Amino acid sequence: MRRPSSSLRLHVACGQLVMQPGDIGHQLEQVNSLSAEASKAGARLILFAEGALHGYCLKPDIVAAALSPKDSAVQQLRQISRRHGLVIAVGAFEKANQKRYISHFVVWPDGRVRVQRKHSLTPAEIHAGFSPGPIARTLFDVNGIRCAIVICADTGIEGLWNHLKQKGCQLCLIPTAGGANREDMRRPEDLDDPTLRTRYLKAMEKVCFLGEALLRCRDLGIAMMATNLAGDDGIAKYHPGHSSIVDSRGCLVALHPGEYVADFLRPVMIHGDVIVQARPTRPLSAR
């Protein structure tokens, strides 16, 4: 017989950047400050958005600035992780094997780095020169809790959630970028216009709604952290942000809704305890 399962807790955080396209130094400053806040609050893991370090902008010069684990920006991530004593998961454009990927770097205080590459690319991402990563998820442990990263559209991979359950995933990290086109972006004065006020409220209703994520966490027993990028790419896309933490019971632990008034955006950190079920263990064989 298997031992009865018990609950585990992990204090986690989501860091929502307000990006400047291509300004990796600007984004790293926010990673550092939000990681410091998260560490002070007791978090052991912080998640940042898809493409966070580059600002998720598909201009050729920004795509060409893709990083490898040996680049100085990743070395700075190692320093930030060590300085604040927590695991950092942050999105960036990656170069490897003469290819470019939309990836997530996971950095530990002891200097370890793991990478998860996005598999399900949009036509625009393919046109920009990115290659698809593997379907398989790279699972890793944080304080004994098994985690997986599912980048944006990868949530639609067929059979993904059952696969994660079978692999013993207890916490799923979902970094995203997107949510709106620039014509959806608002300014404070727009809220004086009756038509734009109505559109703004409808957009805010959508960005505050978690959909079926709460029930999926409950039904599968997998906790979730999700973080969207925030900011204007100056070309076509507006990222309204949105961060949420849900535990394996389907309980909403923390939420910072997206914002369509660009002037209201600011770097934000949310945090809280997620409760997950301990992985079943087999008893030692009788001797």
Q: What does the pLDDT read at residue 191?
A: 94
Q: What is the pLDDT of residue 283?
A: 44
Please report, to the nearest 10 degrees, the dihedral formed by the alpha carbons of residues 157, 159, 163, 164 taken in order: 50
Give how many domains the chain has, as a whole number: 1
Residue 201, domain member (yes or no): yes
9, 273 Cβ separation under 8 angstroms:
yes
What whole-number distance in Å separates Cα of residue 115 and Cα of residue 105? 5
Question: Where does residue 145 rank: exposed (0-12), middle (13-18), buried (19+ CB within 10 A)?
Answer: buried
Give me the pLDDT at residue 259, please: 94
pLDDT tens-place string over residues 24-82:
999 999 999 999 999 999 999 999 999 999 999 999 999 999 999 899 999 999 999 99
Is 116 among the domain residues? yes
Say whether pLDDT at 3 is over 50. Answer: no
Q: Which residues pair with 272 in a beta bridge?
A: 12
Which residue's structure tokens are 């920006």? 73
Answer whether residue 282 is part of any domain. Answer: no
CATH number for position 224: 3.60.110.10
- List the strands of the sheet with 45-47, edge to edge: 113-117, 99-107, 87-96, 45-47, 7-16, 268-277
pLDDT tens, residue by residue, 129-177: 999 999 989 899 999 999 999 999 999 999 999 999 999 999 999 999 9
For residue 14, give its domain range: 9-277
pLDDT at 117 over 60: yes
- pTM over cut 0.85: yes
Ordered DSSP codes for 87-117: EEEEEEEEEETTEEEEEEEEE-TTS-EEEEE
Per-residue pLDDT of 92-108, as tens digits, reads: 999 999 999 999 999 99
User: Considering the chain, what is the average pLDDT of its residues?
Assistant: 92
Closest CA to 153 of 188, 118, 127: 118
Q: Give the Cβ contact number of residue 265 at 10 Å.
A: 21
Give pLDDT, residue 5: 56
Whether 285 is covered by a domain: the verdict is: no
Q: Residue 28: inside a domain, yes or no?
A: yes
**E strands, the chain, where?**
7-16, 45-47, 87-96, 99-107, 113-117, 140-142, 145-149, 171-176, 180-181, 223-232, 237-246, 252-256, 268-277
CB contact at 8 A, 96 and 79: no
CB 255 within 8 A of CB 272: no
Identity of residue 93: F
Residue 190 forms part of a structural domain: yes
Find the mean pLDDT for residues 113-120: 97
DSSP annotation of 56 reads S
Closest by Cα among 261, 45, 24 to 148: 45
In a domain, 157, yes or no: yes
pLDDT digits (tens, 9 = 90+) for 203-249: 888 776 777 788 888 999 999 999 999 999 988 899 999 999 999 99
**% of the chain beyond a pLDDT of 90:** 82
H or E stretch covering 78: helix 72-84
Residue 140 falls within a domain, yes or no?
Answer: yes
Which residues are 270's β-sheet partners? 14
Beta carbons of 212 and 161 less than 8 angstroms apart: no
